[in-house]
Structure 1
Amino acid sequence: MKVGFIGLGNVGGKLSGSLLRNGIDLTVLDLNRDLVDAAVAKGASAAENAAELMRNCDAVITCLPSPAASDAVMQEMLPEIKEGKIWLEMSTTDQAEAERLGAMVIAAGGAAVDCPVSGGCHRADTGNISIFAGCDRATFDRILPLLKTMGRRILHTGELGSASMLKVLTNYLATVHLVANAEALVTAKAAGMDLNTTYEAIKISSGNSFSHVTESQVILNGSRDISFTMDLVKKDVGLFQSIAERNDVPLEISPLICQIFDDGIERYGDRELSPNIIRRLEDATGLSILAPGFPPEMLDDEPEEAGYEVIPQGSSRVQAAE
């Protein structure tokens, strides 16, 4: 299978690297020529535009910063989509937008999948990240071998659009945990607790979360670097809030999280690293939330493993296997 990849940013660059590392015939495209050149140096080919990429590839992956960017690329690719072509949307986007663009692909004779990733840039780099995939089962079976080269745990979430909804939901939860961790760490410091001990107490307790064992470490180091910025958090939480509003769910925490990040962006800028949302409390208390022995960035120290499909507990597929 010849694969095209559009968008070589923090996540896309790492996912495309996994494809190359696993011997996939890959052609890439990005507005940043330096990123393209780096991929070419690792064995990729370069395309001049999105239409050329779709014309010459069996499957094209997009991993872009906004729904508007995905739409612009789709308009270029659409004339080249025909039977047998597959579009995989790995951007974090709105469910309705994934469905809209996917319907255009399907109408042109192709197949469409929304397949965002979750688990942090450090796991995208090693191929150990999780991937959600929304599409019909026949399409999922076609693209599962490809997804296994980029991720470890692959979950078929249902029809087109379902993966994007679940990705936004999980990003929302991670953001809630980030804000709660910030409050917990600042409160511990104010109460005179040792922050190294506090970190370990949370890690081994019912208060633990994926966010704590990743983001709390770079917070305590002081780098605050997880390759994710406040504007991206605002986009993701806003998408989650929109889903709730469309479905008449009267959320209480989500609007507050939106307000907190609006304030963080106003204070520190939209491209500020997202863990620095803790600065609001550091500024308010005059406390510095730092501790020795923590890394400046997260690295995945697990060896790369072959990907596999995750079967939801209680599903008919589990029962059939039994």
Structure 2
Amino acid sequence: MRVGFIGLGNVGGKLAGSILRNGYELVVHDLEESLIQEFTRKGATKGGSPKTMAQTCDVVITCLPSPAACAAVVEGPNGILEGIGPGTIWAEMSTTDANEVKRLAGLVIAKGGEAIECPVSGGCHRAATGNISIFAGCTRPTFDKALPFLTVLGRRVLHTGDIGSASILKVVTNYLATANLVSVAEALVTCKAAGMDLGISYEAIKISSGTSFVHETESQVILNGSRDISFTMDLVSKDIGLFQAIAETHEVPLEVSPLLNQIFKDGINRFGPRELSPNIIKRLEEATGLKIEAPGFPSEMHDDEPEEPGYEVVPKGPQTLAAE
């Protein structure tokens, strides 16, 4: 299978690395020539335009920073739509708007291609090892066709339903991660203000009912001081804004979500859009005069699980339970 990959940033570059590492023929494209060269040195082929990649690859994956960027690559001049045809899959791995991905998927399908949205969740450190989780929205036949390369990109692959369903679930999970991050920041600052040892505080939270994936990862780089989780405030703001828009569309009167959006807008105004997202804690550090750091924590996260073959996650339900 010849796999094209467009978008070699923090997440995309790691996902593309899994494709190359597992023996697939990889074709790459990015606006940054240095990122393309990094992959061609490892054995990938430079892809040229998205149109050319759609003409010559079995699947073309996009992993881009915004819905607008994805639309430009799909339907812009020399875009995927100009080259895609029967037998070729467009796989959208960005965190994007559900209505927009449905619109673009419809255009791809009208040209005879197949479309799947497959955003990932679990952190850049797991994207690097192929152990990240994947939500896949598409028809069941397209999912079955895509599963072999999806299980190379990720460990746990969940078919979420039709196109659009995976994008909704992705922004839901990113919203929850953001709520976790802000509450963890408040907890650590409060522990410090109360005179607690931050290393002990970290362990207490970790072994308690208050723990979370965010605490066990992002709290470590917060306490190290690097705050490096390879994710920035502008991307958080985009994701929780998409979540808020879904809720408003369906007239859900949220209370926490508007506050989170306000907190990150303030963070961006203070520290800039490309500030690392865990540095949202700096708002409280500045307000209290406290420095939330402790010795013995890593500067970045590394996945300590060995890379293993991926598999489809089958949801629990009446049919599954009856079979057991």
Q: Calculate the TM-score normalised by the size of structure 1.
A: 0.98
In structure 2, the partner of 1:135 is 138
1:160 aligns with 2:163: yes
Q: Distance in 1 between matches of 2:48 and 2:313?
A: 37
Q: Distance in 1 between matches of 2:310 and 2:55?
A: 28
Q: Distance in 1 between matches of 2:201 and 2:212?
A: 14
Amino acid of the residue matched to residue 167 of structure 1?
A: K
Maintained 8 Å contact 2:151/2:309: yes
In structure 2, the partner of 1:202 is 205
Question: After the TM superposition, which of the residue ranges 171-180 and 78-87 deviates more from structure 2?
Answer: 78-87
Maintained 8 Å contact 2:184/2:219: yes
Q: Distance in 1 between matches of 2:177 and 2:82?
A: 38
Q: Distance in 1 between matches of 2:20 and 2:323?
A: 33
1:234 aligns with 2:237: yes
SS of structure 2 residue aligned to 1:113: strand
Q: How far apart are 1:112 and its partner, in Å?
A: 0.5
Q: Distance in 2 between matches of 1:238 and 1:225?
A: 22
* Distance change in 2, residues 1:225/1:45 (3 Å): same
SS of structure 2 residue aligned to 1:303: coil
List per-residue Cα deviations over 1:214-262 (Å, max 9, x = no partner).
0000000000000000000000000000010111111100000000000
List per-residue Cα deviations over 1:151-193 (Å, max 9, x = no partner).
0000000001101110000000000000000000000100011
Q: Distance in 2 between matches of 1:232 and 1:117?
A: 14
In structure 2, the partner of 1:188 is 191
Q: Distance in 2 between matches of 1:320 and 1:68?
A: 45
1:83 aligns with 2:86: yes
Q: Find 2:149's aligned residue among 132, 140, 146.
A: 146
In structure 2, the partner of 1:292 is 295
Q: Distance in 2 between matches of 1:15 and 1:302?
A: 16
List per-residue Cα deviations over 1:278-299 (Å, max 9, x = no partner).
0000000000000000000000
Q: Distance in 1 between matches of 2:322 and 2:57?
A: 36
The correspondence of residues 170-319 of structure 1 with structure 2, limited to 5 A, is: 170-314=173-317, 316=319, 318-319=320-321
The correspondence of residues 44-55 of structure 1 with structure 2, limited to 5 A, is: 44-55=44-55
Regions of 4+ moved over 2 Å: 318-322
Amino acid of the residue matched to residue 179 of structure 1?
A: V
Root-mean-square deviation (CA), in Å? 0.9
Amino acid of the residue matched to residue 67 of structure 2?
A: P
Q: Distance in 1 between matches of 2:323 and 2:226?
A: 47
List per-residue Cα deviations over 1:116-157 (Å, max 9, x = no partner).
000000000000000000001110000001101110000000
Amino acid of the residue matched to residue 306 of structure 1?
A: P
Q: How far apart are 1:315 and its partner, in Å?
A: 5.4
In structure 2, the partner of 1:27 is 27
Amino acid of the residue matched to residue 5 of structure 1?
A: F
Q: Distance in 1 between matches of 2:278 and 2:286?
A: 14
SS of structure 1 residue aligned to 2:48: coil
SS of structure 1 residue aligned to 2:155: strand
Q: How far apart are 1:321 and its partner, in Å?
A: 4.8
Q: Distance in 1 between matches of 2:213 and 2:173?
A: 11
Q: How far apart are 1:109 and its partner, in Å?
A: 1.0
Q: Which runs of 5+ in 1 are unaligned?
A: none
